[in-house]
Structures are given as C-alpha cells and as structure tokens.
C-alpha cells in the first residue's frame, strides 16, 4: 500500500469479514509478525486483524527519512483511510504504542473506539525534566552508536531484555530474525526519534478507553512508564504483569491474551 508516492507499506488483513477490527502496530525493531500468538486468538472473537510494518521494517519500503513520530502516524492514517477502517481498536507495542498515541493526538477525529498500549515507549523514552524514568540520553546514544556499527550485537542484547521467563533458543532466534529484517537506517532513525520525542502533551488528547498492558520487570520501558500513562490518560486501565519483562505478550502469554480479550469485550 502506498502511503507516499515512493513509499509502500506492507499491510496484512486477517479475517477481513470479522465484525470488529483491531489494528496492530509493532515495536522497535520488530515487525508485524511479532503478533503471531495473538492472531491465533483474536479471529475466534470475530476480530478482523489488520497489521502493518512501519516504514523501514519487515516488508515495508526503506526510505532514508520519515522516521519521526508525526510521519509514522501519518503512515498509519494512510492505511486507515485506504482500508476504510471505522470504529476500530488501535493497539501498539513499545514504539508502536508511542506512534499510536501520536496518531490519536495528530488526528483527533480518527474512528478509534479503544486504545491498547503494550509495553509502550511513552510518555518519554529517556529521562527528562519532570519525567525521571527510562534510560539516560547517554545510554540511548550508545544504543544508537551500536546500531550504527554492530547492529547484530545490539539485537542480541535487545532480545535478552525482552524476556523475564525461560524461553527456547528457537524463540530467541525467531525474535532476533524479526529484528534483523529491519533496515539499519530505520533501526537508527527510530531510536533517535524515541530519544528525542516527548508525548506528555499528547496524553491529554486521549479520550478513548485505554488499556495499558505492562510487565513489572521491563528494563527497556520501565513499569513506571505504565503508571505515568495510567495517571495521565483519563479513561485508562492498567493491567500489570508481575512476571513479565518488555515482551509482555510472550512472557505471560495466556494471561496477556486473556486480559486483552477481557478489555476488548468491555462495553
């Protein structure tokens, strides 16, 4: 799907005849395939599942620019408009959660009826005045340097931060494979965006029911992010996972899926 004249975004539409719709946005530096274990479940509840690879990731085009949150949100809007989505749930993991928040802020008339934030990289990914949680700028600068010089090693270390529970070597290999499908440019440029963007002023514009799903053992986007989101988004619920790290949708898979469905089915 073309979102700009020379930028094509990969979109997957599963169970298009479903009575309800959820649009899923992946995290850094993954792609839409990270949601494999939700796609076994959601169509059983009559959900049409729309997934997109953010520019530079997965099967989408890899332009040299356009990786700030505003452009990523405009890409989401182009997909929503092209598919004619109405009254849908928007869900985002990590970077995808940040993009989802900017999308709702930038397009206040968007036909979103619920928002799901999974381990969201928000409100601010690095420590800022008034927001003391997360990495320091120096730590993210080192992450960016590593992405620019030894991306495979960065991915190895990132995969280790995803899990608090034991997983098979094959699972680690799969996750690392998804991450390595990303372009180097997108990996670096979205890390710069996460470092520099600040979503605190966006949060007051969020009015839809919001479910915040976050692991207490998250070392990439600390649990304090979820608590701050819960305090700042008026109509929000916090679903805490005591035994999960950043990969909240893997560490406690059954519990995560059950609570996600619980939130989606709330009137």
Of 119, 183, 214, 246, the catalytic one is: 246
Q: Is 218 a catalytic residue?
A: yes
Residue with the two structure tokens 């930038």: 106
How far is residue 155's CA from residue 175's CA, in Å, rounded to a whole number? 9
- Kindly name the residue from 60, 94, 105, 183 that is annotated as catalytic: 94
Q: Can you tell me the distance from the alpha carbon of 232 to that of 169, in angstroms, rounded to the nearest whole number?
A: 39
Task: Compute the distance between CA of residue 139 and CA of residue 57 in angstroms, rounded to an integer.
Answer: 23
* Number of other residues whose CB lies within 10 A of the CB of residue 64: 10
Active-site residue flag, 173: no
The catalytically annotated residue of 53, 75, 218, 251 is 218
Active site residue 40: no
Give CATH for domain 2-265.
3.40.50.1820
pLDDT at position 154 is 97
Determine the average pLDDT of the residues in 156-174.
96
Q: Which CA distances in Å does 103 have to 39, 74, 112, 127, 169?
A: 23, 7, 10, 23, 36
Q: What are the sequence ranges of the domains in the chain?
A: 2-265
Q: For residue 19, is pLDDT > 90?
A: yes
pLDDT bucket at 5, cuts 50 / 70 / 90: confident
pLDDT of 4 reads 83
Give per-residue pLDDT as tens, 60-114: 999 999 999 999 999 999 999 999 999 999 999 999 999 999 999 999 999 999 9
* 219 phi, psi to nearest 5 deg: -100, -10
pLDDT tens, position by position, 110-134? 999 999 999 999 999 999 999 999 9
Q: Is the peptide bond before 29 cis (omega within 30 degrees of 0)?
A: yes
Residues above pLDDT 90, as percent of the chain? 97
- pLDDT tens per residue, range 215-237: 999 999 999 999 999 999 999 99
Distance CA 243, CA 108 (A): 35
Indicate the average pLDDT of the chain: 97
């Amino acid at each position: 799907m073309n979102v700009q004249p020379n930028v094509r975004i990969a979109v997957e539409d599963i169970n298009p005849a479903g009575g309800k719709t959820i649009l899923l946005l992946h995290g850094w530096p993954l792609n839409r395939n990270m949601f494999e274990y939700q796609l076994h479940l959601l169509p059983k509840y009559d959900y049409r599942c729309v997934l997109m690879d953010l520019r530079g990731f997965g099967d989408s085009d890899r332009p040299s620019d356009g990786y700030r949150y505003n452009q990523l949100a405009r890409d989401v809007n182009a997909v929503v408009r092209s598919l004619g989505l109405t009254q849908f749930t928007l869900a985002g993991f990590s970077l995808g959660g940040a993009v989802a928040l900017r999308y709702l802020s930038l397009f206040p008339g968007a036909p979103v009826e619920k928002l799901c934030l999974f381990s969201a990289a928000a409100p601010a990914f690095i420590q800022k005045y008034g927001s003391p949680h997360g990495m320091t700028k120096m730590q993210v600068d080192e992450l960016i340097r590593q992405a620019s010089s030894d991306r495979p090693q960065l991915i190895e270390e990132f995969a280790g931060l995803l899990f608090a529970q034991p997983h098979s070597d094959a699972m680690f290999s799969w996750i690392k494979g998804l991450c390595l499908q990303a372009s180097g440019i997108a990996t670096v440029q979205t890390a710069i965006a996460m470092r520099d963007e600040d979503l605190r002023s966006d949060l007051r514009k969020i009015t839809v029911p919001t479910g915040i799903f976050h692991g207490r053992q998250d070392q990439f986007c600390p649990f304090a992010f979820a608590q701050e989101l819960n305090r700042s988004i008026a109509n929000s619920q916090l679903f805490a996972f005591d035994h999960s790290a950043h990969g909240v949708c893997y560490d406690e898979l059954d519990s995560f899926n059950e609570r996600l469905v619980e939130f989606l089915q709330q009137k």
